[in-house]
C-alpha cells in the first residue's frame, strides 16, 4: 500500500493533497510545520509500520533546507521518492536533480495534477524498492475482485475504442487510480492515440519478464494518464502479436484484478483467441454496434456463439453507436434482430470522432455533446449499487432521438 508523508505549514496545500489521495490506495501522514526534521530518521521514527513511499516537501519550507533533506534521503532511503512543491527556476531544478528530487510540483497545482504526480512517484518508489525482481504479489485492498469489462464488437469501425476510452475516463472519476484500460487490439490498437499517450512500455513488455511475476512490478510498466487512470497500450508493431498468447492474456488480467477496481479491455473486432481469453475473465461485456445491418447481425451471431461456448459474461451492456433515424432502421428493428434490449444509445455526433482524433475523450474535457449523456449513462451502470436499483431502471428502454 502506498504511503505518503507531507511536511508543510500551508493548510490550503495540505487540503489539496488530502483531496488528491482520496480514493487512492494508501494513507497520508501530515506534519504541519514550517521547519524540517534533522534527518530522515526523525520522519521514519514517527511512522508506524513500513516506511513511506513518497515524501512531499510542501510550500512554506526553506528550499535550501528541503534540498539538503532530499539529498540525505536519497543516500539513506533511495527507495523513497521525494517531491518538492516549490516554484521551479532553472537553478533550483538543477540543484533538485543533483539532490535526487523525483519531481517538482507547482504549489498552485489542482488535485488531478497532484494525484497523477504522486502516483508516478509511488510507482518509481515501488520499482526501486523491488528492483524489478520477481517476488510474491501483494493484493490490493479489494481482494483481487476487480471488475473486468470487455468492450467488444463483431466488426471494426463502430467506435469501440472511443467508447472504451470514455468509459475508463468516466470510471476514473469514481475510482481515481483504480482504473486501467488495456488495449488488446494487438495489431492495430488505438488506445494510445485516443488518449494522447506515448507509452514507455507496451503489453508485450508487460506479459514477459519480471512484470509477469509480480502485479506491483506490472504497475510500473503501465502509463499514467492525466485523467487519473492507467493504460496498457498495444504493441508498437503488429508482428509482436504472435509473441502474445491467450495464456498471457489470462494471466495479465488476473494480475490486474489484484490491483484495480476496474479493468476496461478494448478488444480486437471479432472473437479471436485473445478475445475469448478475455471473456473467460470478464465480469461484463459492453457490446458496441453501429446503425448498419452487418454490425447488428454480427452481434446476434456473436451472442449465439458465446452462449454455445458458455463464455457469455454475467452482465451484458448493449450500446448502439452513431444512431441516426436517417439510417433507415429503428431502435425496435435493432432490438428485434439482436434479440435483446439496447441499454445505451449514442446519437451520431461530430464531436465524438473529433475528440478521439484529438486524443481527449469528451468525458475528460467535460464538453457538452449529444453523445456525452449516453456515455455517462454507460458509466453509471458500473458504479457500486447499480444492481440494487429497481429492475425497471436496470433495463429501462433506451431513447432514440
Q: Report residue 392's pLDDT band, with 50, 70 and 90 as the boundaries.
A: very low
pLDDT exceeds 60 at position 338: yes
- Count of Cβ atoms closer than 10 Å to residue 300 Cβ: 16
| pLDDT of the residue at 154 | 86
Kindly state the average pLDDT of the residues 106-130.
81
Give the three-state DSSP class for 44.
helix
| pLDDT of the residue at 136 | 38
Q: Report residue 152's pLDDT band, with 50, 70 and 90 as the boundaries.
A: very high
Kindly state the average pLDDT of the residues 268-288.
93
Kindly state the average pLDDT of the residues 177-192.
93
| pLDDT of the residue at 143 | 45
pLDDT exceeds 80 at position 390: no
Angstrom CA distances, 1 to 4, 114, 340, stand at 10, 18, 42
All structural domains of the chain with their residue ranges: 2-130, 147-394
| pLDDT of the residue at 185 | 94
| pLDDT of the residue at 393 | 53
| pLDDT of the residue at 177 | 83
Of 126-135, 148-157, 392-401, where does the model show the most confidence?
Answer: 148-157
323 or 65, greater pLDDT? 65
Arithmetic mean of pLDDT over the chain? 85
- Count of Cβ atoms closer than 10 Å to residue 56 Cβ: 26
Kindly state the average pLDDT of the residues 345-358.
85
Burial of residue 89 (number of CB atoms within 10 Å: 0-12, 13-18, 19+): exposed
Kindly state the average pLDDT of the residues 92-120.
85
The whole-angstrom separation of Cα 179 and Cα 182 is: 10
Least confident piece of the model among 182-186, 284-288, 313-317, 322-326: 322-326
Least confident piece of the model among 87-91, 104-108, 294-298: 87-91
Q: Which option is the CATH number for 147-394: 3.60.40.10, 3.10.105.10, 3.40.50.300, 3.40.50.10420?
A: 3.40.50.300
The whole-angstrom separation of Cα 71 and Cα 69 is: 5
Domain at 2-130, CATH homologous superfamily: Response regulator (3.40.50.2300)
Kindly state the average pLDDT of the residues 102-126.
84
Q: Report residue 56's pLDDT band, with 50, 70 and 90 as the boundaries.
A: very high
| pLDDT of the residue at 135 | 40
pLDDT exceeds 90 at position 1: no
The whole-angstrom separation of Cα 200 and Cα 211 is: 14
- Cβ–Cβ under 8 Å, residues 374 and 344: yes
2-130 and 147-394 share one CATH topology? yes
Q: Give 234-264 pLDDT, tens digit per residue.
A: 998 888 898 999 999 999 999 999 889 999 9
Give the three-state DSSP class for 184.
strand
Kindly state the average pLDDT of the residues 264-286.
94
> What residues contact residue 56 under an 8 Å CB cut-off, 6+ apart?
4, 5, 6, 7, 8, 17, 83, 85, 105, 118
Q: Give 298-309 pLDDT, tens digit per residue.
A: 999 999 999 889
Kindly state the average pLDDT of the residues 198-205.
91
Q: Report residue 351's pLDDT band, with 50, 70 and 90 as the boundaries.
A: confident
Bridge partners, residue 55, by sequence: 5, 82
Amino acid at each position: 500500500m502506498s504511503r505518503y508523508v507531507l511536511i508543510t505549514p500551508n493548510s490550503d496545500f495540505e487540503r489539496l493533497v488530502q483531496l488528491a489521495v482520496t480514493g487512492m490506495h494508501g494513507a497520508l501522514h501530515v506534519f504541519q510545520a514550517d521547519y524540517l526534521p534533522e534527518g530522515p530518521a526523525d520522519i521514519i521514527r514517527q511512522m508506524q509500520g513500513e516506511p513511506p513511499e513518497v515524501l512531499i516537501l510542501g510550500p512554506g519550507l526553506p528550499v535550501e533546507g528541503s534540498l539538503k533533506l532530499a539529498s540525505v534521503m536519497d543516500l539513506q532511503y533511495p527507495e523513497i521518492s521525494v517531491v518538492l512543491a516549490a516554484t521551479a527556476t532553472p537553478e533550483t531544478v538543477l540543484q533538485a536533480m543533483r539532490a535526487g528530487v523525483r519531481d517538482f510540483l507547482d504549489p498552485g497545482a489542482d488535485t488531478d495534477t497532484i494525484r497523477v504526480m504522486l502516483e508516478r512517484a509511488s510507482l518509481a518508489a515501488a520499482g526501486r524498492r523491488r528492483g524489478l525482481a520477481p517476488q510474491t504479489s501483494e493484493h490490493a485492498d479489494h481482494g483481487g475482485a476487480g471488475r473486468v469489462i470487455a468492450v467488444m464488437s463483431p466488426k471494426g469501425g463502430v467506435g469501440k475504442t472511443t467508447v472504451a476510452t470514455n468509459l475508463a475516463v468516466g470510471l476514473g472519476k469514481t475510482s481515481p487510480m483504480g482504473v486501467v484500460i488495456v488495449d488488446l487490439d494487438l495489431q492495430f490498437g488505438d488506445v494510445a492515440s485516443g488518449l494522447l499517450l506515448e507509452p514507455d512500455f507496451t503489453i508485450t513488455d508487460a506479459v514477459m519478464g519480471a512484470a509477469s511475476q509480480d502485479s506491483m512490478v506490472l504497475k510500473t510498466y503501465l502509463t499514467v494518464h492525466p485523467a487519473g487512470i492507467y493504460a496498457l497500450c498495444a504493441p508498437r508493431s503488429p508482428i509482436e502479436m504472435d509473441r502474445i498468447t491467450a495464456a498471457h492474456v489470462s494471466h495479465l488480467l488476473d494480475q490486474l484484478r489484484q490491483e484495480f477496481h476496474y479493468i476496461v479491455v478494448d478488444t480486437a473486432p471479432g472473437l479471436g483467441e485473445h478475445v475469448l481469453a478475455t471473456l473467460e475473465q470478464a465480469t461484463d461485456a459492453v457490446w458496441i454496434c453501429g446503425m448498419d445491418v452487418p454490425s447488428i447481425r454480427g452481434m446476434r451471431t456473436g451472442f449465439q456463439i458465446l452462449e454455445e461456448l458458455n463464455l457469455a459474461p454475467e452482465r451484458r451492456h448493449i450500446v448502439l453507436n452513431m444512431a441516426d433515424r436517417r439510417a433507415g432502421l429503428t431502435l425496435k428493428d435493432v432490438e428485434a434482430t439482436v434479440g435483446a434490449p439496447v441499454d445505451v444509445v449514442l446519437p451520431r455526433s461530430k464531436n465524438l470522432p473529433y475528440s478521439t482524433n484529438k486524443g481527449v475523450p469528451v468525458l475528460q474535457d467535460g464538453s457538452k455533446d449529444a453523445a456525452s449523456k449516453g456515455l455517462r449513462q454507460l458509466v453509471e451502470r458500473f458504479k457500486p449499487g447499480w444492481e440494487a436499483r429497481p429492475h425497471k431502471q436496470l433495463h429501462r428502454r433506451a431513447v432514440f432521438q
